């Protein structure tokens, strides 16, 4: 699972900080394996996040996993 995070203006947060904070609040198996940071999320006319666009943009991250090679 991957989390894509949009930070507020001026906020500074790293992947390790976020995972540490989440680790105190949610079960370990629910923690994302990767954390990506974005300036904004693509949204459709209804305001919903376009997950298919995010998957396409970050497809190269999962190319190795789909081919059966360890990441």
- The answer to whether the CB of 50 falls within 8 A of the CB of 43 is yes
- What's the pLDDT at 46? 97
Q: In which domain, by residue range, is 25 found? A: 1-40
- What's the pLDDT at 11? 86
Pair (35, 48) in one structural domain: no
Pair (1, 22) in one structural domain: yes
* Alpha carbons 23 and 31: distance in angstroms, whole number: 7
- What's the pLDDT at 19? 93
- What's the pLDDT at 63? 78
Give tens-digit pLDDT for 60-71.
887 766 666 555
- The answer to whether the CB of 42 falls within 8 A of the CB of 49 is yes
Give tens-digit pLDDT for 3-46.
999 999 888 989 999 999 999 999 999 999 989 999 999 999 99
């Amino acid at each position: 699972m991957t989390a894509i995070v949009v930070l507020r203006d001026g906020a500074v947060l790293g992947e390790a900080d976020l995972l540490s904070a989440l680790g105190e609040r949610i079960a370990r198996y629910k923690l994302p394996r990767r954390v990506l940071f974005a300036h904004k999320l693509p949204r459709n006319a209804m305001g919903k996040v376009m997950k298919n666009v995010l998957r396409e943009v970050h497809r190269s991250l999962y190319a190795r996993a789909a081919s059966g090679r360890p990441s």
